[in-house]
Chains A and B, each alone.
Chain A
Amino acid sequence: MRRSLVLVAIVVLMVSACTSGATPSPSASTGAPPSTAASESAAASSGAAFDPSAISGTATLSGWQSSDAENKALQDTVTAFAAAYPNVKVDYKVITGDYPTVMATNFASKNVPDVFYVDASFGQPWADQGFLQPLDDYIANQGFDTSTFFPGYLTPFKGSDGKTYGLPKDGNTIGMAYNTADVPTAPKTLDELVTAATALKGKSGLKAPMCLNPGLDRGLAFLYAQGGSIVSDDGKTNMVDTPETKTAVQWYLDLFKNGLGMTAADMGDDWCGTSLGKKHAAITFEGGWLDPAMTSTYPDVKYAWGQMPTGTSGSPVTISYTAAYAIGADSKNKDQAWVVLQYLVGKDGMTKWTSGGVALPSRSDVPTPTGKDVLVAQAQFAKPGSGFMKGYSDVQKAFQDAFTKEIQDKTYSADKVIAATKAAVDAALAS
């Protein structure tokens, strides 16, 4: 009897502990995004002009790190920042492990870095969850010019409320990388691409003329090239079930059907960069990250960059990927954070950051690093490859699952891919 009483008491205590710790706050219980107004800094919200050189203090800076070269480039940029703004100290802490997972625990504990990387695919969800500080007041009060950013790089960091939650730290566009020994001149149109690939078919050593991605990660560029799309420009109408999109998907599937393209996995490679390096494929579609992989692992393979071939839409188009710097909604040093952020995404900071060729600039007024002309020039017309609609990761997954199944079942029909993607877009738009 006494034992069961003790047990009941423990359970009651625990439940009450849980509930009292998580009492709904007034703002949260209305279902509205949590307000950040209370923690907003005086300098940003007062409407007075913001002078970054008048601010002093410390700001923590965090992000993932993909290579030693990236670490060095960032350290050099931080050193240059210290010279430009001696009153603000930057405390750089790299986040190791799975970035979104680690950041989720940081957001939950309200212990966030002041300035941190936000991948384009997380821009809108993190903004809508209230994790990020809107930057519009800082931008307005300082008169920070955002017009020099390539437009495709800015879109993913707009929240559903239309506010800006991050500024792109750099960017990359998807271009055509081709082995110059196999492909002497870059195809300019999709028709020329098919002709070039057909001529290479069956060439000894090649598993397929092209290494292709079985999803929207690269396929979206081909959809756009032929006038197809996923959603309307305002992000409200489902555009999957249109003749243009369907034709484009069927065209992309036919590349696999006719043996002109193969996935990296089917060639036994981890990604298309390896396929190009091992000469399993002669043409592939990647971004600037291909270059360090090729020069370090396959220095003997001669390849060049070509602009994404144009399709039936007639105008040049490709997709781009980016990441931004953002300020945590729970940051305790927002003014200092903004000083760091505006330098890193500003002309001087970005010139320093991209000069080593680790990343490509997201601004048009920053010099193009050597050898990256094609990829940087494409940013003028590139559309975002992620983060342009709510719930896009589910759409990507639905497309890729259905597309992969068509390839593996050798049925190559666009109908099921269109149906699955359309349903996913409907669900995403309704959520």
Chain B
Amino acid sequence: MAIASARDPRASTGIGLRSEALAGYAFVAIPMVLFFVLNIGSILYALFISVFQWNIRSGAGPFIGIQNYQNVFKDPIFIRAIQNSLYYAVVWVPLTMAVGLFLAVLVNQKLRGRTFFRAAFYFPAIASSAAVTVLWIFLAAPDGLFNGIRGALGLNPIFQLFGYGPNQNWIGDSHTALNSVILLNAWTTSGTFMLFYLASLQTIPGEIYEAAAIDGAGSWQMFWRITFPLLKPGHYFVATVAVIGALQLFDQARIAGGTTGDPANALMTVVLYLYNLAFFKFDFDRAAAVGLILFVIIFTITLIQRRLFGSAPSW
């Protein structure tokens, strides 16, 4: 670009530069206005709402400062929602990344029919999350397919060791509900992560593998010494997207556990809690406070991730 403009006769004149810059600003103006109004604007507006007693019909009531934030932290259900969302992120993100990476490495091989496998692994991601969740509820029901298959395969004694009877209600039992949703989402999202990793895998130069092969490295060594470290930008991108998505878990929890996060708050997530406050209790001021708390949590975790994985690749 710099070379091209140096050869451009207009570049030597100030007019050329200025019109080019204006064109640039004009192009970014529309998305920037939308970004400021819809993103930054709503965040500031939420901040404003959260420090007042707010009625959605009549607007702001008395200024109450940080009282909404204090009340939110005093609510045990909110604390439970934070715990659930963090647990979900801590278990689901590594699990889904690992499955995604495994699938990506698998379909990156020169296999017969790999296009079919790529499409097949990605398929759950394009199905509607609501439909897949409903399907999952049927599969995990006490007399559902999952319990039927493990019974037929004679695996029930193993499950019995962990305290799960033959008719375990996986989504209806508060001990297993969240883990069931984690498995569901690991299945539906790993295809997307596979795609991200596949793109990253293509950027690793083949010569490195050739050199390693000459040095006598096996495929296991090549994966851990070459592929895994050189995927660092990919890890960063996938982990960031995953953590943000995990902390915003809503639809599957809403469908499997209703608006109240049943059973016994096992599926209560931060976003579901916010939704309940706003649309069932009309507590928009407190809901705004929850939104901002979630924003701060996500922002902080993303910054930490950037520190940990975000530096440029080391090759």
**A residues with CB within 8 A of B:** 10-11, 14-15, 18-19, 22-25, 27-29, 31, 34, 98, 100-101, 104, 107-108, 110, 125-126, 129-131, 263, 265-268, 329-330, 393, 397, 400-402, 404-405, 408
Contacts and interface: CB of A to CB of B under 8 A. Distances in A.
B40 interface: yes
Question: Which range holds the interface residue count of chain B?
Answer: 35 or more
B189 interface: no
A98 B41 CA distance: 26
B262 A400 contact: yes
A18 B279 CA distance: 21
B41 A14 contact: yes
A126 to B, nearest CB: 8
Contact of A100 (B48, B52, B279): B279
Contact of A28 (B48, B60, B141, B144): B60
Contacts of A400: 260, 262, 264
A28 B44 contact: no
B26 interface: no
B57 A19 contact: no
Contact of A34 (B48, B58, B173): B58
Contacts of B281: 125, 393
Nearest to B77: A397
A98 B52 CA distance: 27
B48 A104 contact: no
Given A104-B56, A107-B56, A18 B48 contact: yes
Contacts of B59: 22-25, 28
A15 B48 contact: yes
Given A28-B61, A104-B282, A408-B174, A268 B142 contact: yes
Interface string B52-81: 110111111110000000000000000000
Contacts of A15: 44, 48
A129 B282 contact: yes
25 contacts: A14-B40, A15-B44, A15-B48, A22-B60, A24-B52, A24-B61, A28-B59, A29-B61, A29-B62, A34-B58, A98-B279, A100-B280, A104-B278, A129-B56, A130-B57, A130-B58, A265-B142, A265-B263, A267-B142, A400-B260, A400-B264, A401-B264, A404-B262, A404-B263, A408-B264
Interface of B: 36-37, 40-41, 44-45, 48, 52-53, 55-62, 141-144, 167, 169, 172-175, 260, 262-265, 278-282
Which secondary structure dominates chain A's binding surface?
Answer: helix
Contacts of A19: 48
Contact of B279 (A14, A34, A101, A329): A101
Q: List the 6 shortest-distance A-B pairs measured between CB atoms, nearest first.
A: A265-B172, A28-B58, A34-B58, A268-B142, A268-B143, A401-B264
A263 B262 CA distance: 13
Nearest to A263: B172
B55 A28 contact: yes
A141 to B, nearest CB: 25
B165 to A, nearest CB: 10
Contacts of A23: 59-60
Contacts of B53: 31
Nearest to A14: B41
A25 B55 CA distance: 11
A10 B36 contact: yes
Contacts of B174: 404-405, 408
Given A14-B44, A401-B264, 12 more contacts: A14-B36, A18-B41, A22-B48, A25-B59, A28-B55, A29-B60, A110-B57, A125-B281, A129-B56, A266-B172, A393-B280, A404-B263
Contacts of B278: 104
A107 B55 CA distance: 10
Contact of A266 (B44, B144, B169): B169
B167 to A, nearest CB: 8
A264 B174 CA distance: 15
Nearest to B174: A408
A34 B265 contact: no
Nearest to A101: B279
A129 B44 contact: no
